[in-house]
Amino acid sequence: MPDVTLYHWEPNANSGKPMLALMEKGVAFNSHYLDLLSFDQHAPEYLAVNPQGTIPAMLHGDRVLTESTAIMEYVEEVFAGPRLMPADPRDRWRVRWWMKFMDQWLAPSFSMIGWKVFVGPAVRDKDPKELQAAIERIPLPERRVAWRKAISGQFGAEELEESRRRVALGIRMLEEELARRAWLASNQYSLADINGFNLAYGLPVVWPELSNDELTPHILRWLRTIYARPATKACWAMGRTSMAKRVAILEQPQITPGQPA
């Protein structure tokens, strides 16, 4: 039995970051799938592991680690396998800068829209009493607010518009950075690319008018290159929902604006 257990949802966003990092490093782990849409992450069995009820969490021996980006840095430092952080200190700074920019500025905007179009509708039809009880079990007050909004479709027009602005600007910034070099933050594949792929793999499906081979050739080249890696293929094969399966769009050699996804 491996001494690593990962509690995760889909290969997507925060869950997918340590999944892909472990798989790139060739570290075997017990996969413990939590169904976010059934609120497994707020069930007593999981709260006993991570009282905050956030996904993912990793057990290494008897230690519990949370916070997906920090887990990736731990995985990189503690296990052998290919290096996922550059050796140069300034490159390492750039990896961290991009990860924070994505984690704190860009991803929440992607996720607000993702929750509106995917998570909210996916759980909305459940029994209202069951939903209410599920929300009350959420330990973090901020997450309670987020779930209430997603379920009742209460995101305001203004905040959705601000999220769309950030998505469009973030896509332009990624395209410019990836025009400068092969990888996002340095000249080697790194945690920043793993982080970025988790955020951006669905771009050409969700935002075909903003991200396609004509407008953002460097982003598409980058996404396809990462998708071609054996670890990425194996990781996304662990997906169970239509959300993770969107990754298949990267098998298309050419994605043009307005193309039906």
Partner 1 sequence: MSTTLYHGEPNGPSLTVLAALFAKEVPAELVRIDLARGERHTLACAQEPQVAMSVEGEGPVLLVEGEAMTDSVFLACYLDDVGPGAPLRPADPYGRWETMTWCRQIIERTAPAAACLGCRAHPPEADAAMLQRIGSADLRARWREIMAGNFSEDHLSDSRTKIRLAVEKIEIRLDGRQWLMGTFSIADIESYAWLAGMVSLVPEAFAGRPRVTAWLERVKGQPAVTKALSLARSADPAAVWSVGPEINRWG
Q: Which residues bind partner 1 (CB under 8 A)?
A: 63, 65-67, 69-71, 73-74, 77-78, 89-90, 92-94, 96-97, 100-101, 104-105, 108-109, 111-112, 142-143, 145-146, 149, 155, 159, 162-163, 165-166, 173, 176-177
Q: Which residue, 62 or 209, has its beta carbon nearer to partner 1?
A: 62
Task: Give Cβ neighbours of residue 88 (< 8 Å, ≥ 6 apart).
Answer: 186
Q: Which residue, 54 or 212, has its beta carbon nearer to partner 1?
A: 54
Q: Which residue, 13 or 223, has its beta carbon nearer to partner 1?
A: 13
Q: What's the min distance (Å) between Cβ of 23 and partner 1?
A: 19
Q: Which residue, 87 or 127, has its beta carbon nearer to partner 1?
A: 87
Q: Which residue, 164 or 224, has its beta carbon nearer to partner 1?
A: 164
Q: Are 22 and 16 in contact (CB under 8 A)?
A: no
Q: Are 253 and 213 in contact (CB under 8 A)?
A: no
Q: What's the min distance (Å) between Cβ of 38 and partner 1?
A: 19
| Residue that has been written with the tokens 């039906």 in this structure | 260
Q: Which residue, 111 or 232, has its beta carbon nearer to partner 1?
A: 111
Q: Which residue, 151 or 250, has its beta carbon nearer to partner 1?
A: 151
Q: Are 49 and 57 in contact (CB under 8 A)?
A: yes
DSSP H helices in the chain: 13-25, 44-47, 68-78, 89-100, 107-114, 120-124, 128-136, 141-152, 157-180, 191-200, 203-206, 217-227, 230-236, 242-245
* Edge-first strand listing for the sheet containing 30-33: 30-33, 4-8, 57-60, 63-66
DSSP summary character for residue 188: S
Q: What's the min distance (Å) between Cβ of 219 and partner 1?
A: 15
Q: What's the min distance (Å) between Cβ of 220 and partner 1?
A: 20
DSSP per-residue string spanning 200-242: HTTHHHH-TTTSSTTT-HHHHHHHHHHHTSHHHHHHHTT--SH
Q: What's the min distance (Å) between Cβ of 72 and partner 1?
A: 10
Task: Give Cβ neighbours of residue 148 (< 8 Å, ≥ 6 apart).
Answer: 135, 154
Q: What's the min distance (Å) between Cβ of 179 and partner 1?
A: 12
